[in-house]
Amino acid sequence: MVFEFDGGFELTKKLYWEQPYSRDFTAKIAGSNGTQVELDQTLFYPRGGGVSCDTGVLGGVKVVETSKEGDKILHTLESPANFAIGQMVTGKVDWDRRHRLMRMHTAGHLLSALFYSGAKCLITGNQIDVDRSRMDFSLEVFDRSQIESFVKEANKLITDDAPVKSYFLERSEALKIPDMVKLAEAAPPVEAQLRIVEIAGIDRQADGGLHVAHLNEIGKIELLKLENKGKTNRRLYYDVASA
């Protein structure tokens, strides 16, 4: 299928960064092949970095996947739509899914901060999803009680509450900040500016994902399962429940 495209179009405006709590938006069709659509701006967060994507409705048709292909953000539709280049359409994000992913993602940042500060663990992998999420850590000794204590501490911090905010810093400035990067085998994107997600007084990480505005929105982190995944690699499965 040929992908029709507006040759004068630049980059999709990331409304999901600017308005993470918005649910509806209007955009212009910038490219389409019938089942995949590119917009001039979008609230739909694309899959990436181990984090699942937004779904919802666009122009009355279900969006079943949002993905990145190079610089493009593509919205995959459940069925073909005859959108014309330049046509204005309305979109609606599945809010229950979006907010659950935000809660899961912020919970992951909180856990990684505590694992790092308490045991100097780095993140070796992750998968943030709706049903359950997982995080892998470089922890030498598989100490279940230690891991359970980190989860307990995380839930205490959730109860105490703290604001969560995002902002941009020059890459060179951001990488001078101690403990900014907690990934074992990956560096932040090679961009002039990095997006920073900060849990006030607890954690700062370069991150492109969506997060709740306050820790108490997470609810409660529930430890589901622990696994050994190698000599020094541990896997933690977790869920978030309403407080």
| Phi, psi at 170, each rounded to 5° | -60, 140
Q: Are residues 77 and 190 in the same domain?
A: no
Q: What three-state secondary structure class fits 149?
A: helix
Domain finish residue from 64, 93, 122: 93
For residue 167, how many other CB atoms are within 10 A of its CB? 10
Tally of domains within the chain: 2
pTM, two decimal places: 0.93
For 150, the domain range is 98-241
Residue 118 domain-assigned (yes or no)? yes
pLDDT by 10s per residue, the chain, length 243: 445 555 555 689 999 999 999 999 999 999 999 899 999 999 999 999 899 999 999 999 999 999 999 889 999 999 999 999 999 999 999 999 999 999 999 999 999 999 999 998 889 999 999 999 999 999 888 889 999 999 999 999 999 999 999 999 999 898 888 778 777 666 667 788 999 999 999 999 999 999 999 999 999 999 999 998 888 889 999 999 986
Q: Please name the residues in contact with 229: beta carbons below 8 A apart, sequence gap of 6 or more.
A: 136, 235
- The b/e string for 206-223 (b: 16+ C-beta within 10 A; e otherwise) is bbbbbbbeebebbbebeb
- Confirm if 59 and 90 have CB atoms less than 8 A apart: yes
Partners of 221 in the β-ladder: 240
Question: Which CATH number belongs to the domain containing residue 33 in this structure?
Answer: 2.40.30.130
Q: Please name the residues in contact with 139: beta carbons below 8 A apart, sequence gap of 6 or more.
A: 115, 119, 121, 147, 232, 233, 234
